[in-house]
Every structure is written in structure tokens, then in C-alpha cells.
Amino acid sequence: MTPPSLLLVGGAGPAPLGIDVAVMAIEQARARGLAVHLIGHAEDLAATRDAVDLADTAEAVDFEDSEAAVTWALDRGRRGEGFDAVFTCRELALPATARIAEALDLPGNSPEVIDLIRSKADCRHRLAEAGFPQPASHHCTSAAQARRVLDESHGPWVVKPRVGSGSEGVSLVSSPTGLPGALGHLPPESAQDFLVESYVSGTEYSVEGLFRGGEPQVLAITAKEKLPPPFFVEQAHTLPAPLPPPLRRQVEETVTEALRVLGLRHGLFHVELWVTDDGIVLGEVHARLGGDYIHRLLAHAVEGLEMFGEVYDDSLGRDTPAGPRGCTRAGATRYFSPPPGRLREVHGWHEAAHHPAVLAAELAVAPGERVAATDESDGRAGALAVGAADPGQARALAIELADGVRFDVEPEETP
């Protein structure tokens, strides 16, 4: 009997985090008897052998070209090599994944909904229309237009790409004099396609979950810690967030209702928000898993959870766990942000990375390499993710282990 076939669009990103996510996703597919077919960029396939070698087949396909990816998938079907489910772990592959699912009549989110939520301005507008508090958001195509927004509103403001992830190009503008620097921080492709939003003062969280039968199920709420402005790079996570039960329920209800309004119905979700003095303000909505080793924290904190496997089971009409599930344990992640310069040596890494409570350990720089300034998520020097009995213990242990790692950096000369 031919096993059900899963198409994994985008494969693994070349960074250690992306590989770890893809490996977990493929392992959970194989454990369910699925044949896994992976497509991705040729250079990524060559750099992600740990994931590629677990798949049954891997082929170079430009998944960022949705039309080409759909054509490839349809051609496979005509040859009798079709798929029973389609999934992605990557933000950039969401449009192609949705269009392949639609073309092959497989479960998935509609392309229109994916396009809506990936356009941050459009998603804000849709949520605001439905009555959800949102930061004031202005789509700008020039520096002059952005300056007019600042002149006609009260700061601080946030300048960010209209489409993107990983805090790339996001920065705080405290006064109009800071606008040129923020615009210069945008990636080149966003120089004429960006947002200026009002800054929200509050405690930031994200909500992680999956869909079952089209309905959202919250798995956990994550507390976030960020490096000081002007950038918005996440430094730490604690899961589950230590919230009083009434506030936790309010956050969960707000997010699940927002997902219904937007029309998301399949896969995983990661929704960012702020808890302010005036209530809950929704941030960005993603039809994917959160980054920063949240997949490892969830797998430790929610007993028996196989989030990718449950998405596959839902796609194939198989039984999935009934009823809500909470966290019986906790996890925390801490990222390293040493000063920029030339790295001489790292002290204490082996001891920290091999602590028995460590769920994942990543060191992104080696002696002799240049440590970059931490102005976006990809610039961080590494991370430790740990598991513990409760959130307080998890956060304290992550801090303790991270503080035991010291980066000997030769400072850069200042012009």
C-alpha cells in the first residue's frame, strides 16, 4: 500500500534554527508513515543535509515564485506522483504553499488570506475594521510621505518593512530627526514600500497554537524580552507566560476571534500582541510557528505535543487530540548579543550547552569571525533554550547559563 505523501515547501532555512525546525517536522511526518517530498532553493538543499537526508525526495524548486511552484506540483500530479498534504515551516513559502493546496484541492489556508496577513498594513486595516485595537499604521512609499506622517501625528513611531519577519529593518523613531536613520535601516527592497506606525507602550507577548478542524487551539502564551531601542530584537522568551488566569483567558479569546475574522483555518499560528493600560493591542499575525526555538519550548512544556504531526493528521482527516491542553512544564530561551568586533574566544560555551536542562544550543560565531551589531534577529550570536518545571525556574536557569558564556571580543575601531 502506498503511504500518504507530504509535500514540504521551502525545506529548511540554512540557519541552525531553520534546520532544527525542519528536522522535527520531517521526523513527525515519518513517525506517521508519511512519505516526505521536500522542495527548496538549490543552495539551501546543499546547506541543510540533516533535513534533506530525512526526506524521501528533495528537489530544487524556486518556491518564492508561486506560479512556478504550482506548475511543478501539477506536473507531478499528472505523472501520478501527487500529494496528500502540503505544509511549510517558512514564512517565505507561505504564498506558494497556499496556492499549491488550492490547485491540488488539499487542506490549507486560502491564498487571499495568506496575502492579507503577510501585508502588515492590510492585516491591520482588516482587524481595525472588526474592532480590534491596532497601532495607527501608514503605508509609505517615500521619505517625504513618511515625514508628513510624523508632522501630523505624535511620536514615538516605528518604521518597518511592509512585508517581512525577524525584526529586519524595524526601528524606533523618537523624533523626526531620527527618521533618516530609520529609513536607512530598511532593507533595500523596502526603501519605497514601508510602514510608519505608532509605538505601543506595553508588555509584549505572543500566542502559539494550531488549527483543528478549522478552529484555532491555543497551546501557550509566550512572554518576550527585547534589547533596548532603537531596534526590536528579541533577547529572551519564557513559555508559558506567567499571567493571571483572567488575563490569560482574555488574551486567548482575543487571538482566537482575530484569527476567525482574518479567515485563517489551517496549520500553525503565531500572533504577537501587547498588554497595555488600555487593554490588549494586537500586533502581527503569522500563519506559521514562532521562531527562536519556540518549537522546542512547546514540545517540552505541553505533554505529548507533536504540533507538526497534528497538522498532518488534521490535513489527512485523522483523529487529533480532543479538548484544550495546557502547559505542565515550562521553557525559556536566551540569546547572546555581545558587542560588535572581532571574536577572539568564547568561554564557558561547552559547559552551558551540555547542561542537562538544555533543549537546544546554537553558537553562530567562531573565533576569528566578526561579531555584527545586533540590529535584527539574524545578527544574534547564538542561543540557549532550556526546560524546567515552571516559568520562573526556566527563566532563571536560562539567564544563569547564558551569563556563564563570555565572548572575548576585540572592539571595532570608531572612526
How far apart CA 41 and CA 12 sit, in angstroms, is 9
Cα–Cα distance measured from residue 164 to residue 191, given in angstroms and rounded to the nearest whole number: 13
Residues 6+ apart with CB under 8 A from 400: none
Q: How confident is the model at residue 167 (pLDDT cuts 50, 70, 90)?
A: low
User: Hey, do 5-106 and 201-328 end up sharing a CATH topology, with the first three levels equal?
Assistant: no
Residue whose entry in the numeric block shows the C-alpha cell 563570555: 406
Q: Is the pLDDT of residue 415 over 80?
A: no
- Mean pLDDT, range 150-174, rounded to an integer: 84
How much is the pLDDT for 232? 78
Average pLDDT score over the chain: 93
Range 71-81 average pLDDT = 94
pLDDT band (50, 70, 90) for residue 325: confident
Angle at 291 between CA 276 and CA 202, to 5 degrees: 10
Instruction: Specify the 3-state DSSP secondary structure of 7.
Output: strand
Which pLDDT does position 165 carry in this prediction? 63
Q: What is the pLDDT of residue 188?
A: 87
- Which CATH topology does 136-198 take? Dna Ligase; domain 1 (3.30.1490)
According to CATH, the superfamily of the domain at 329-415 is ATP-grasp fold, B domain (3.30.470.20)
- What percent of the chain is predicted at pLDDT more than 70? 98
Does the pLDDT value for residue 237 go beyond 80?
A: yes
Considering only 65-74, 246-255, 295-304, 336-345, which range has the smallest mean pLDDT? 336-345
The CATH classification of domain 5-106, taken from the options 3.40.50.1260, 3.20.20.140, 3.40.50.1110, 3.40.50.20: 3.40.50.20
Report pLDDT for 376: 72
* pLDDT(413) > 70: no
Domain residue limits, the chain: 5-106, 136-198, 201-328, 329-415
Q: Which CATH class for the 201-328 domain?
A: alpha beta
Whole-model pTM?
A: 0.91
Burial of 317 (0-12, 13-18, 19+ CB in 10 A): exposed
pLDDT for the residue 187: 87
Between CA 199 and CA 158 the distance in angstroms is: 6
pLDDT tens figures, 238-272 = 999 999 999 999 999 999 999 999 999 999 999 99
Lowest mean pLDDT among 93-102, 105-114, 297-306, 335-344: 335-344
Q: What pLDDT shows up at residue 380?
A: 86
DSSP state of 368: T
| pLDDT at site 48 | 96
Say how many C-beta atoms besides its own lie within 10 A of residue 159's C-beta: 27
Number of H helices, E strands in the chain: 14, 19
More confident of the two residues 163 and 237:
237
Q: Which pLDDT value is given to residue 163? A: 79
Using CA atoms, how far apart are residues 73 and 164, in angstroms rounded to an integer? 26
> What tens digit of pLDDT does each residue of 16-58 get?
999 999 999 999 999 999 999 999 999 999 999 999 999 999 9
Backbone angles phi, psi at 378, to 5 degrees: -70, -15
